[in-house]
Amino acid sequence: MNEQNSGMIKQAQTGDLVAWESLLAAVYPPALRQARALLRDEDLAEDAVQNALIKMHTNLHSLDEIAAFSAWWRRIVTNEVYMILRLKQRETQALDVGILQHLGLEVDELVVLRCELARALQLLPFDQQQVVIDVDLMGVSLLEVAGQKQIPLGTVKSRLFRARERLQHELEVFREGRKEKKTMDDMMARDLTALFYNYLEGTMNGAERARFELDLVGHPEWEKELRRHKDFLTLLHTLTGKLTLTSAEIMEKIQTVTAKIKDYEQIVDDTHFEQGSPQTLTTHTWFQTPDLYRIESHHPVMGEAVVVVRGIEVLSYMKDAKQAVKTKIGEGLKEQMGLDFTDSLKLMAADKDSRPLGTEFVNGRPALHLQFNQKVNGKSDMVTHLWMDKDTWMPLVTELYNANHELVHRKVVRELRLNQGLPDELFNIILPTDIEVQDKTKDKDIVQAIEEITLQEAQERMGNQPYLSEEGETGGIYQAKYQWIKMTSGEGGLLTQYYVPGDPLPKLNVTQSKFAHANLPPQLPLTPVSFDFAGAQVEGSYLEFSLKPVKGIIVWNHTDRYYTVSGDFDSKGLLLAISKLFLAGSH
C-alpha cells in the first residue's frame, strides 16, 4: 500500500468525508466483483456490498494496521455474502425432519427464525459477529480462527461465548416472548456455559474432558442445562446450514454411492469464458460398472469423436479424420482424467479449505453446495463452487473463478439418468470397413499417471537440461508446474504448465520427450511454420483449435527430441512463446 492510500485511510478514520468518499470509490468496484463471483446474483451482490460498506464506515476507526486495510474490507464483504447465502435463503426442502421434531420446530417457524437470526447477528459487536460467521456459518475451527486473526485461542472462545449467549437470548425471547433468560445463578451460569461449549465442541484436552465428565456425574442438575446448550447449537447450525463432514465421512459416502450406481448416462456442457464470451463443448457419457465408459463429443475443429474405455484399453475414433487408435492407460491416469465421478469426491475429501454452503436445487435435484478456496500470494483467493447431488453425490455444476472473481469455467450436467440397465453393445465401436485401427497396445506400453515433480527431478529424469520459458522464471509473469508423463517401458516426457498467478487454468503448455507424443490426426489442416529454435532453423506444424483453454498447438522435432507448445494463443503468440524458450542452465 502506498503512502497516499495510507494517508487517505488515516484521514477517513478521523471522520474526513472526502477521504471516505475516495476510499469508497476505490473499494466499491472490486467489492462488487467479489460479491458477484460468490453470489452469482446482481441484486444480492449489491445488497452484500452495501451492508459491507456500512460496517466498514462504522468500524474503520478500529482498524489498527493500515497495511491490512485491503484484507480487512475483503473479509467484511465475504462475511456479508455468507450471511446472505446462509441466513436469507428461503429454501426449506431437504431439511432433516428428525432434527426439526427434536427442536419442536415447524418448517415455517424455521424460515422466520432464520430471518430473526440474521437480525440478531447484526446486533452483535463487530469482533463477535466475525467469529460467529467464521465458526458457526463457515465451519472454520477455533484454532484456525485464532491463527487467521493472530489472537489467543482463549480470546476466540470468549468472543464466541458472548456472541452465542446474546444470540441464544434473542432467539429464546423471540420464540417464547421471555424478557429474561431462565438460567441458574448468573455468574455460575456464565462459567458453566463456557465449559459446556468447550465440552460439546471438543476443544478440551483429554485431562480436562475426563475431569468434566466426572463433575457431570456428580452434578446431575447440569444435564438439563448441558442439553439446553446442545439443542441451541443444533438449532443455530440448522438455521445457518453449517455442515461438518470429515474426510472419513466423505469416503464412506463415496463407498455407499459407488455400491448403489450400476450405470449412468449424462450430458455435460463444458463452457470456458473469455472476457465474458462463452465457448461450450458438449459431451455425452455412459458408464457401466465395473469399468466401462463411452464418451461422445463434437469439436468444431476435430469433429465428431467417440472414446470407449474398457478396463485399461482405450479406443479413440475420430470420424471426420477417419482415424482410430487403441492405447492402454494406467489406473492412476484414469483417475486424473476424471472418468469416474467419485474422483471429484476424493478431491473434496483431500481439500483442506472447503466450506459447505447448504442445500440448493439444481434442475429439480437437491444439491449440496460446496465452496473451495485456494490461496494466491498477493491476491484474493481463487474460488471453486461445486454442487453435488445429495442423493447420489454426483457433481451437477462446477464453476471456477480466478483471483479477480471472474468466472472462467463452468461445467453443467444438463441431463442425468441412473441405473437404466445399459446394454453391453453400447461399449463397442463398430468402425467402417475402410478404417484401420492403429493398435498401440501390441508393444505392451501403458501411459501412466502424470506425476508432479521438481525442476531438479525433471533434469535428472531427462538426462539433460530441459527447455524452459523465460517468462516462467523468477520475476516472470508465469508460475511453472513441472509434470512427468511416464510409460511402463520407462520412457517419459516433461510437461511444463505455465499459469498466470490467480488463474486456475494454464496459459501455456510445453512438452518435450524422446518419443513422438502429439499424435495429431494427419487429415486435419496443419499449417507449416518455420522458426528459430536452439540456434537452428526448424520446421514445425501448427494446428488451430480455436477453443479455450487450448486455442492452438505447434509441434516439431529437433535432433533426437520431440516438442509441442500449446495454450491460450494463436500461431503468433505460440511462436513468440517458442522464441522465449531457453536451455536450463544456460542463463
pLDDT digit string, tens, across residues 97-108: 555 566 666 666
More confident of the two residues 378 and 509 = 509
What is the per-residue pLDDT across 183-241, written as a single tens digit (0 to 9) for each? 434 444 566 777 887 777 666 766 777 788 788 888 888 878 887 777 787 777 767 76
Q: What is the pLDDT of residue 2?
A: 54
Mean pLDDT along residues 346-372 = 65
pLDDT of residue 486: 78
Q: Is the pLDDT score of 180 beyond 50?
A: no
Please report the pLDDT score of residue 1 as a whole number: 52
Mean of the per-residue pLDDT values for the chain? 79
Least confident of 62-71, 228-237, 262-271: 228-237
Q: What is the pLDDT of residue 554?
A: 94
Q: Torsion-angle region of residue 91: left (phi > 0), alpha (psi -120 to 50) or beta?
A: beta
pLDDT at 181 over 70: no
Helix (H, G, I), strand (E, B) or coil at 505: coil
Cell of 532: 528459430
Q: Are residues 239 and 87 in contact, defined by beta-carbon separation less than 8 angstroms?
A: yes
Q: 263-272, 378-387, 528-537: which has the minimum mean pLDDT? A: 378-387
363 vs 481: which has the higher pLDDT: 481
Give the confidence band of 93 by pLDDT, cuts at 50, 70, 90: very low
Which of 325-329, 333-337, 425-429 is predicted with the least confidence, judged by mean pLDDT?
333-337
Give the C-alpha separation, 204 to 195, whole Å.
9
Cα(515)–Cα(311) distance, integer angstroms: 25
More confident of the two residues 567 and 185: 567
**Residues 338, 344, 347, 351, CA torsion sign:** positive
Cα–Cα distance measured from residue 17 to residue 22, given in angstroms and rounded to the nearest whole number = 9
Contact assessment for residue 315 and residue 324, using Cβ atoms and an 8 Å cutoff: yes
Q: Which pLDDT score, from 0 to 100, does residue 549 have?
A: 83
Provide the H-helix boundaries in 201-337: 206-218, 222-240, 247-260, 331-337
Of the listed ranges 3-7, 466-470, 491-495, 562-566, the one predicted with least confidence: 3-7
pLDDT computed for residue 178 by the predictor: 46
What is the model's pLDDT at position 185? 46
- HSE-up (13 A, CA, CB side) for residue 251: 6
Phi, psi for residue 320 in degrees, rounded to 5? -65, -35
Residue 285 — pLDDT band, cuts 50, 70, 90?
very high
Instruction: Identify any residues that bridge with 388 across adjacent strands, giving them in sequence order.
Output: 368, 395
Pull the grid cell for residue 546. 480455436
> What Å distances lie between residue 356 and 93, 206, 234, 359, 370, CA to CA?
17, 29, 16, 9, 4
Lowest-pLDDT range of 14-23, 316-325, 486-495: 486-495
Identify the band that residue 532 occupies on the pLDDT scale cut at 50, 70 and 90.
very high
Give the percent of the chain with pLDDT over 70.
78
Domains for the chain: give ranges and CATH numbers: 89-239 (1.10.10.10), 247-439 (2.50.20.10), 451-583 (3.40.1000)
Most confident of 5-9, 421-425, 486-490: 421-425
What does the pLDDT read at residue 474? 62
Residue 308 has pLDDT above 90, yes or no: yes
Of 366 and 173, the one with more pLDDT: 173
Q: Can you give the pLDDT at residue 518? A: 62
DSSP state of 435: P
Give 120-179 pLDDT, tens digit per residue.
Answer: 887 888 888 888 888 887 667 788 788 877 889 889 988 998 888 888 888 888 776 644
The amino acid sitting at 422 is: L
